[in-house]
Amino acid sequence: MDSIKYLIGKTKQTLKNEGIVSLTKKTTKYIFNGMKSDKQECKDVLFINGCTLPHPSRYRVAHQREQLESNGMTTDEIFYETLTLEKEKYYRCFVFFRCPITDTIKEFIKRAKYNNKIVFYDIDDLVFDKQYTKTIKYLDTLSKDELNLYYDGVERMGETLKLCDYAITTTETLAKELKKYVKDVYINRNVASERMCELSINAISNVNRDKNKIIMGYLSGSITHNPDFELILPAIIKIMKKYEYTYLKLVGILDIPEELSEFKDRIIVEPFKDWTDLPSVIATLDINLAPLEMSLFNEAKSENKWTEAALVKVPTIASNVGAFKVINNKVDGILVENNKNDWYNKLEELVQNEELREKLGQNAYNRVLKEYISTYSGYKFTKFIKSKLNKSIAFILPTTNVSGGVNVVIKHCNILRNHGYDVFIINMDKFENNIINIDGEINVISSLKTKIVCHLNKMVGTLWTTIYFAKDYHNVDKIAYLVQNFETNFLNYGNYNKQIANTTYSFDDVEYLTISKWCEKWLINDFERKVKYAPNGIKLEQFPTTTRNFDGKIRILVEGNSDDYYKNVDESFKIVEKLDKSIYEIKYLSYQGEPKKWYYVDEFLHKVPYDEVGKIYNSADILIKSSILESFSYPPLEMMATGGISVVAPNDGNIEYLKDNENCLLYEQGNIDDAVEKIEMIRNDKKLRNKLIKGGLETATSREWTKIEKEIVDLYE
C-alpha cells in the first residue's frame, strides 16, 4: 500500500511539474522495466534442435540464429526433449532441426498451426527417409538392433518433416528431394559464424609452417567417411612415395589403412577437435583434401570442408560431387573427377606449385568472407522466413477480466485467427492463462512476466492505458486503437488521468478503429481523426431463444457494475423499488461490483463466465438497463436474442440499434416513473410483448457475427 501511495504521489508531481508528455514517457518506461524482470521472452523464431552432434547443431542452429539476428529477427533455441506446449505462444514461427517425432512435438505443431504460426523443418542430410540412407556403407557394420534404432530415428524425422509447412536445407540435391514432402524449400547454405571467422584470422596470424614440408590434410568428421578416403588412397601413396617432403595429417575418426604403414613417420594423427581448435589445426595444412564418393546421399552434403579451409587460406582439392561444385575450379579451389589419375595429377600440381596454392587459398578466403559469413549472408534467409509468416496482430488489454469491451476483443481475435492471422493478447496484468471459450482458444501473454521483442505487423490498443504501451513498442509496423468509448468521461474532474486519457484521441501515427457509430462520429467531429468502422455482433448460439410465459411471476434482470457511475445501476434499483415484489422477482448480474445494502435483490449472479451469460438472460423476462455512457451496449441485444424484452435508458452507445416500441421500450433517463410505467405496459399488453420480442429477434439476427465477419477482418487490414 505504501508503494502505491508513493507511485500516485510521483505521478501527480510529474504531471504538475513536467506535463503529460513527460508523464507518459515515464509511465511507459516503468511498464517496460517491469517486463524485463522475468527471463521469459516473446520472440520471432524458436529453433528446436533434435541433433546431439555438436557440429551440425552449430551450423544449422547457432549460425542460422546469427544470420537472422544480424538482420533484425529475434531468436531462441531449445533441445527437442525439453520442449513444452506452453512455449508455442511465445514465438511467431518454429524451426525443427533434425527432430524425430514425439507426442509433444506432434501436439506442439498442431497448436502452432491452429494459431497460424509457421513451422519449418531444417535438415542437412538425407536422413529423413530409408530410401536415401540405405546407400550408406557404414550401416552394413551395424548390428540388427543398432540398425533398427537408426532407422527408427530416420522414420521419426520423416514424420516431423511431413507435419511442417516448409523446409530449409543446405544444398540443391537436398532441396529437390525435400520438395516431395513440403510445399516449398529454401536453400540456406552452411556459413561460418563471426566467432569462427575471428578464430580463423587468429590462426592465420599464429601459424608457423615448415617450408621444407608439404602437409596434406584429411579431416574425416565421422566414421562414415572412410570410403571417401579410399578414393584418394592410391594417389596419396603415389605422391608420398615420389615426394619425400609430403606429409599426411589425419584429424578425426578414421581407420588408418594398412597401405600407409610405410609412411608412418610422415603421418600426423590428431583426435577429433573441438570446433574452436579446428582453425588452428587446418591452418597448419598446405592442402586440404576433400574426396567424396558419388552417391545421392553424398551429393546432398554441404561444402563445409572447403569453407573451413578457405577461412584460413588453405586451398582445397575436392571431388566434383554435390555441393563442392560451388568451387570455382582453378580459381578458389580444385575440382577432381573421381578417378585415381585425375586425383594424382591435380594433387601433384598443387604439391609442386606453391604460387598456385597461395592464389587458390587467398581467392577462397576472399570469397568466403564475402559470401559465407553469417552476418553478411543472412538477409535473403531472413527475407524468406518473413515472407512465409502470417500477418501478426497483438491486442493489448489492461486486464482479461470479463467485460463487454474484453468480449469484443476476444471475438475479434477469434475471427482474425479463423481468417489466417497470427493473433494474441498482451495482458497488462500478471495473469496469462489462455482464453478459452466456445469460439476457440486465444494465447495470452502477460506484459509483467514476459519481455516482448518479436516483430508485429500491428499492435492494437484497447483502452487509454494500453495505447502508450503500443506507441513505445519498437518492433511493430502499425499501431491501431480500437476505441469502444469516450474514456475521458470515465474519469472524474480533477483526476490527473483524465487529461492523459484525452490525449489518446489525438495521435497522428495511430490508426483509429471502432465498433460504435457514436464513437466514429465524435472521433471525426471532435478530433478530426480518420476512422475505420465495423459493426458489433453477437453469437446467437450463445444466446438461444426461449419462449417466455408472463402469466406467473415476472423475472426482472438488472445488469451492470455497481462501482461504475456511468453504468448507473443505482437508477435501475430505484426503478425496482417501485415494483410490486409479489409480482416481480429481481435478479442482479454483475461482473465486478456487488449489490449495495439498499438494493432489493432476490438472486445475485456474480462474475458469471461469459459462456454462461446466455443462461442468465434466458432465466429472465425483462432487462432494465440504465447506463449513462456506453460505446456499444451489449446486454439489450443479448436479451433480445434470447426472446426477452429490454427497458432501456437511451444513450449514444445503444441507440445505434434500439428502436423504441419496435424492439424495446425506451424510458427517459432519470424518470423512474416512466420506466415503471413501461414495465407495467409489458406485463399487461400481450400484443406489445409479441411485437417487441419479434423486433428484438430480428435485430439480433441481423447482428449475427457470421454476417459481419468480413467487415471485422477488413477493420484490421
**Percentage of the chain surpassing pLDDT 70?**
93
Which is nearest to 686 in space by CA: 674, 694, 676?
694
Q: What are the pLDDT digits (tens) for 97-133?
A: 999 999 999 999 999 999 999 999 999 988 888 777 7
Residue 227's pLDDT band (cuts 50, 70, 90): confident
**pLDDT for 296:** 86
Rounded CA separation 548/526 (Å): 44
The more confidently predicted of residues 295 and 508 is: 508
**pLDDT for 20:** 53
**pLDDT for 710:** 95
Q: What single letter denotes the amino acid at residue 299?
A: E
**pLDDT for 19:** 52
Q: Provide the 3-class DSSP secondary structure of residue 36.
A: coil
Q: What is the mean pLDDT of the chain?
A: 91
Q: Which pTM does this prediction carry? A: 0.85
For residues 339-359, give the mean pLDDT: 95
Residue 25's pLDDT band (cuts 50, 70, 90): very low
**pLDDT for 131:** 79
In this predicted structure, the answer to whether residue 39 has a pLDDT above a threshold of 70 is: no
For residues 665-685, give the mean pLDDT: 97
Q: What single letter denotes the amino acid at residue 456?
A: L
In this predicted structure, the answer to whether residue 220 has a pLDDT above a threshold of 90 is: no
**pLDDT for 469:** 94
Rounded CA separation 78/65 (Å): 12
Domain edges within the chain: 41-187, 194-372, 390-533, 540-709
Q: How many residues does the chain have?
A: 717
In the CATH hierarchy, which top-level class contains the domain 194-372?
Answer: alpha beta
Which is nearest to 221 in space by CA: 187, 270, 259?
270
Residue 297's pLDDT band (cuts 50, 70, 90): confident
Comparing 192-196, 297-301, 478-482, 496-500, the range with the smallest average pLDDT is 297-301
Beta-carbon count within 10 A of 172 CB = 16
Residue 548's pLDDT band (cuts 50, 70, 90): very high
**pLDDT for 382:** 98
In the CATH hierarchy, which top-level class contains the domain 390-533?
Answer: alpha beta
For residues 585-611, give the mean pLDDT: 93
Judged by phi (left if over 0) then psi (alpha if -120 to 50, else beta), residue 49 lies in beta
Rounded CA separation 379/622 (Å): 63
Which is nearest to 519 in space by CA: 496, 560, 489?
489
Q: What single letter denotes the amino acid at residue 292?
A: L
For residues 559-577, give the mean pLDDT: 94
Which is nearest to 598 in space by CA: 619, 574, 626?
574
In the CATH scheme, what architecture does the domain 540-709 have?
3-Layer(aba) Sandwich (3.40)
Comparing 285-289, 353-357, 467-471, 627-631, the range with the smallest average pLDDT is 627-631
Q: In 273-398, which ranges are continuous DSSP H helix?
A: 278-282, 296-299, 304-310, 340-352, 354-371, 374-377, 379-388
Rounded CA separation 283/298 (Å): 26
Rounded CA separation 417/437 (Å): 14
Cβ-count burial 660-686 (b if 16+ within 10 Å, e if not)? eeebbbbbebeebebbbebbeebbeee
Beta-carbon count within 10 A of 469 CB = 23
**pLDDT for 508:** 96
Q: What are the pLDDT digits (tens) for 371-427?
A: 999 999 999 999 999 999 999 999 999 999 878 789 899 999 999 999 999 999 999
Is the Cβ–Cβ distance between 372 and 192 less than 8 Å?
Answer: yes
**pLDDT for 21:** 46
| Domain 41-187 and domain 194-372 have a common topology | yes
Residue 92's pLDDT band (cuts 50, 70, 90): very high
Residue 222's pLDDT band (cuts 50, 70, 90): low
Domain 41-187, CATH number (from 3.40.50, 3.30.70, 3.20.20, 3.40.1350) = 3.40.50
In this predicted structure, the answer to whether residue 155 has a pLDDT above a threshold of 50 is: yes
Is the Cβ–Cβ distance between 338 and 294 less than 8 Å?
Answer: yes
Which DSSP category does 322 fall into? G
Residue 225's pLDDT band (cuts 50, 70, 90): low
Q: What are the pLDDT digits (tens) for 478-510?
A: 999 999 989 998 888 999 899 999 999 999 999
Is the Cβ–Cβ distance between 60 and 86 less than 8 Å?
Answer: no
The more confidently predicted of residues 2 and 196 is: 196
**pLDDT for 29:** 44
Residue 221's pLDDT band (cuts 50, 70, 90): low
Q: What are the pLDDT digits (tens) for 262-280?
A: 999 999 998 888 999 999 9
Is the Cβ–Cβ distance between 510 and 481 less than 8 Å?
Answer: yes
Comparing 75-89, 247-261, 430-444, 545-559, the range with the smallest average pLDDT is 247-261
For residues 609-621, give the mean pLDDT: 93
